[in-house]
Amino acid sequence: MVADATAPATNKFFAGHGKVKFGGLIKFTLIDFPGRPAAVIFTQGCNFRCRYCHNPELVYPHLFTEPVPQEEIMSFLQRRQGTLEGVVVSGGEPTLHDDLPAFMASIKSLGYVLKLDTNGSRPDMIQELIDKKLVDYIAMDLKAPLEKYALITGVDTNPEILTRSMDIIRQSGVAYEFRTTYDKEVLTDADIENLQNLTHHTCYRVQECLPVAKEKAALKVLHKEI
C-alpha cells in the first residue's frame, strides 16, 4: 500500500516543513506568469512522486542541493523592483511549508504580484494565502481523474482534499487555472474529457508530457522512498 499524501496523520511527507527552503530561482521568464514578466522561485520538498516529474532534485530529499538563502532571493527581488512585475512560487510543493504566508507577505511588501503553483494537497494553506490576500493567481495541477490519481502521483490521495482545494480556488475571486499534463501512458482522451467536466470547462489547460531526461529518470528509480 502506498502512503496517503493528503492525510496529515499518516504521512511524514505531508507534515508542515516549517521554514521554506529554496531549491532555485529563475531570474526572468515571460511564460510562467500570464501577462507578467516574472521570476520563479522553487521550494524544496514535495508530497507527491509524479512519474513524469522533471524536478526530482526538488522532490527527493537525498537529491536536495544546498538551499539558496532567503536573503539572497529577497535581495535579488529588491534589485529587480520596477523591472519584474510578478513572482511565481513553485516547487516541489510550496504549500507544505508552514511559513509560506510570511515569505509571500515579504515579497508582496516589495510590490510584486504573486502566483502560486500547487498540487492542491493542502487546501487550508491555499485558503490562508487567499484570506490574507497574498496570492494573485493560482495554478493547480489536476494530475488525473480522481480515481486514477495514484497512477500518476505514486501516492494515495484523498479526493475530498483535492476537490476542496478546487472549490476554494474557484470561489476565491483570485485568477486561476487548472492544468493537466497529458501522460498518454496512463491517461486517455476520455480521462481528459472527464477532467474538463470536473473543471466545468473553465480555466482548464492541458499540457504536453515531455520526456524526462534520462539522467533525471535514473535518479528517481534509484530512490523510491514511498
Q: Which run of H or of E encompasses 66? A: none
First to last CA, the chain: 9
Sign of the dihedral defined by the CA atoms of residues 190, 148, 208, 115, in that order: positive
- Closer to ligand SF4 by Cβ: residue 56 or 86: 56
**Cross-sheet strand order for the sheet of 22-29:** 22-29, 38-43, 86-90, 113-118, 137-141, 175-182, 204-208
Q: Which of 17, 49, 97, 108 binds ligand SF4 (CB under 6 A)?
A: 49
50 contributes a contact to ligand SF4 by CB under 6 A: yes
CB of 1 to ligand SF4, least distance (A): 19
Q: Under rule CB under 6 A, which residues in 81-110 are in contact with ligand SF4? A: 91-93
- Closer to ligand SF4 by Cβ: residue 85 or 177: 177
Locate the DSSP E strands across the chain: 22-29, 38-43, 86-90, 113-118, 137-141, 175-182, 204-208
Q: Which of 22, 33, 48, 178 binds ligand SF4 (CB under 6 A)?
A: 48
Question: Binding string to ligand SF4 for residues 122 to 161, with x set by CB under 6 A, is what?
Answer: ----------------------------------------
Q: Is 34 helix (H, G, I), strand (E, B) or coil?
A: coil
Positions in the binding site for ligand SF4 (CB under 6 A): 46, 48-50, 53, 55, 58-59, 91-93, 119
